[in-house]
Amino acid sequence: MAVIGLLLIGLAAGTLSGLLGVGGAIIMIPALVYFFKIEQHLAQGTALATLLLPVGILAVWKYWQAGNVNLKFAMIIAIAFVIGGLIGAVIAQPIPDTLMRRIFGVLILFVALQYIFW
């Protein structure tokens, strides 16, 4: 049964990633925390591991075919993303789980409000 739940999380995250460019944080992390009852840090690490290789390769291909990918921008962002990912992971480890969930929730709420009222 857990495998079916994990497959559904992956399908939902992948679909939303291809559709809206979101999925890793917005779908996978809350689903792992709430449905699988794992801690925030473990959910974040698991979501990052999920995205490590496939990171939407087929979705990117479709966007590329439609002329909607700026490779120069993507490569520059990717280099900084690797460095930022390391910095963020180092900072996150000592933060207590409850505080990490609250920080995550505030971030998601802030982004949502920006999109609603921007």
If one compares 78 and 7, the residue with the highest pLDDT of the two is: 7
The average pLDDT across 25-29 equals 86
pLDDT (tens digit per residue) in 47-96? 888 887 777 788 888 989 999 998 899 898 889 888 988 998 999 999 99
Domain-by-domain residue ranges, the chain? 2-117
Nearest C-alpha neighbor of 21 from the set 33, 13, 30, 29: 13
pLDDT (tens digit per residue) in 90-115? 999 999 999 999 998 998 899 899 98
Would you say the pTM of this structure is higher than 0.75? no
Nearest C-alpha neighbor of 49 from the set 73, 15, 13, 21: 13
